[in-house]
């Protein structure tokens, strides 16, 4: 009886030690799932934390080199052609985007749209498009998720909403016209006259581009805006940013 019991125990231990391919495959799937989960957490959240300091440095540097503006609401709203800011070098800061609808979020805008530039948390200016405030289509790109997630809430912008481009000497006020979702290859949305190759522009436009859906990149979310007016910095803060609290450095 004792011999049989020992034999039975040994047989059970052998069966337990035998390689089970189904169990091993299941464990492998669990490990892969954990790795993907960790990567997704890093890509979405950790990169946001990492670029926060880059954003702060870019904005701080821009403000230090920019004329301060009076701490008052400007009444000097001009419909005339705003002055040109001049051509910038790649990775140089053009200014900053202020988006009241996004809790008055402020985003540095740099020249160029390489991944290296966008991964600093900035919005990048398409170098072949118009400069801010000029006739044509001033177009920018930014990440929807990760590396700042600056355009994450682009889908809440509705016709009539305001986006303000801050430059060295002016505030340029744009109003949302419409939005569309296109394929990543549809680059004609940033033409001087969107989607109309060869046509001469007569308007001062702005286009914001980012990935769509929020956690994917197989589409592009596009917002077109019309230039409305501009305000000289020396006259104060534009009405559209009056409640923002951080519109002017000085």
When mean pLDDT is compared over 6-10, 29-33, 49-53, 208-212, the highest value belongs to: 208-212
Give the Cα separation of 97 and 104 in Å (integer): 9
pLDDT at 35: 42
pTM exceeds 0.85: no
Q: Pick the range with the lowest mean pLDDT from 14-18, 62-66, 82-86.
A: 14-18
Residue 30's pLDDT band, with cuts at 50, 70 and 90, is low
Looking at per-residue pLDDT, the higher value among 63 and 191 belongs to: 191
pLDDT at 5: 62
pLDDT at 26: 57
Asked if 150 contacts 211 with a C-beta cutoff of 8 angstroms, the reply is no
pLDDT at 77: 95
pLDDT at 15: 57
Residue 11's pLDDT band, with cuts at 50, 70 and 90, is low
pLDDT at 6 over 70: no
pLDDT at 172 over 90: yes
What dotted CATH number matches 50-241?
2.40.260.10
Asked if 238 contacts 173 with a C-beta cutoff of 8 angstroms, the reply is yes
* Plot region of 192 (φ>0 → left; ψ -120 to 50 → alpha; else → beta): alpha
Asked if 156 contacts 100 with a C-beta cutoff of 8 angstroms, the reply is no
Domain boundaries, the chain: 50-241
23-33 b/e (C-beta count within 10 Å ≥ 16 → b): eeeeeeeeeee
Looking at per-residue pLDDT, the higher value among 217 and 186 belongs to: 186
When mean pLDDT is compared over 14-18, 29-33, 119-123, the highest value belongs to: 119-123
Looking at per-residue pLDDT, the higher value among 33 and 141 belongs to: 141
pLDDT at 62: 80
pLDDT tens-digit readout, 72-99: 899 999 999 999 888 889 999 999 999 9
Say what percent of the chain tops pLDDT 70: 75
Q: Pick the range with the lowest mean pLDDT from 144-148, 153-157, 193-197, 237-241.
A: 144-148
C-alpha closest to that of 130 among 144, 115, 111, 143 = 111
DSSP string, 22-66: HHHHHHHHHHHHHHHHHHHHIIIIIHHHHHHHHHHHHHHHHHHTS
pLDDT tens-digit readout, 95-132: 999 999 999 999 999 999 999 899 888 999 999 999 99
Give the Cα separation of 126 and 140 in Å (integer): 6
């Amino acid at each position: 009886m004792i011999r049989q019991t020992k034999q039975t125990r040994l047989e059970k231990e052998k069966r337990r030690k035998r390689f089970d391919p189904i169990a091993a495959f299941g464990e492998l799937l669990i490990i892969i799932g954990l790795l993907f989960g960790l990567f997704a957490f890093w890509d979405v959240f950790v990169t946001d934390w990492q670029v926060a300091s880059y954003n702060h440095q870019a904005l701080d540097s821009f403000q230090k080199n920019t004329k301060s503006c009076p701490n008052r609401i400007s009444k000097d709203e001009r419909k005339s052609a705003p002055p040109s800011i001049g051509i910038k070098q790649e990775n140089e800061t053009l200014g900053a985007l202020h988006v009241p609808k996004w809790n008055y979020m402020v985003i540095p805008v740099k020249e160029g749209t390489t991944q290296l530039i966008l991964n600093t948390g900035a919005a990048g200016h398409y170098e072949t498009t118009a400069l801010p405030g000029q006739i044509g289509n001033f177009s920018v790109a930014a990440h929807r998720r990760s590396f700042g997630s600056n355009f994450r809430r682009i889908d809440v912008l509705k016709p009539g909403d305001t986006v303000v481009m801050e430059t060295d000497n002016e505030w340029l006020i744009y109003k949302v016209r419409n939005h569309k979702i296109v394929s990543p290859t549809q680059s004609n949305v940033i033409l001087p006259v969107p989607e109309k190759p060869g046509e001469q522009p007569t308007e001062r436009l702005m286009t914001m581009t980012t990935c769509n859906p929020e956690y994917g990149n197989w589409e592009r979310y596009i917002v077109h805006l019309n230039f409305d007016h501009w305000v000289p910095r020396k006259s104060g803060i534009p009405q559209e940013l009056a409640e923002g609290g951080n519109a002017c450095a000085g």
